[in-house]
Amino acid sequence: MSITIAVCTDIDASPAVVWAAVEHIESHVEWMKDAVSVTFRGSARGGVGTEFDCLTRVGPLRTRDHFVITRWRPGAGMGIEHRGAVTGTGEFRLRAVGDGRTLFCWEERLRFPWWLGGVMGEQLGRPILARIWRGNLVRLKTKIETGPS
């Protein structure tokens, strides 16, 4: 079994501006509360095939997750595959809405290992992760809309 978590936010900036803020994977730790650090495997920093590890922390739980970028469409979206302890897929989707605004959606389909509770851990983790990711999108929105500090 697996869980699906989807969160969206409306950002007062064009898809090109939003993409510029999310295309740099290493900067995700600035707005993702659960991402502690990003370490690339190889020289690629973006594009399909880029691999990286992310030290992730949710409460007292820590994992070093391995990711591979599977989709890379500047201004439109990015897809990843989870290849660590937690497996599955994820995607950022950007869509122009209104005049100079972007609907930014983040969706993940995840499967937890037995030592993170398996199916029960997935069910208990879904609302926690959804809350954390909604907060992440608030931080991303604020970062983009207020510009560099």
What pLDDT shows up at residue 23? 97
24 Cβ contact partners less than 8 Å away, ≥ 6 residues apart: 45, 46
Q: Which domains does the chain have, with CATH numbers?
A: 3-146 (3.30.530.20)
pTM (two decimals): 0.93
Side-chain half-sphere CA neighbours of 85 within 13 A: 16
> pLDDT tens digit string along 97-139?
988 999 999 999 999 998 888 999 999 999 999 999 999 999 9
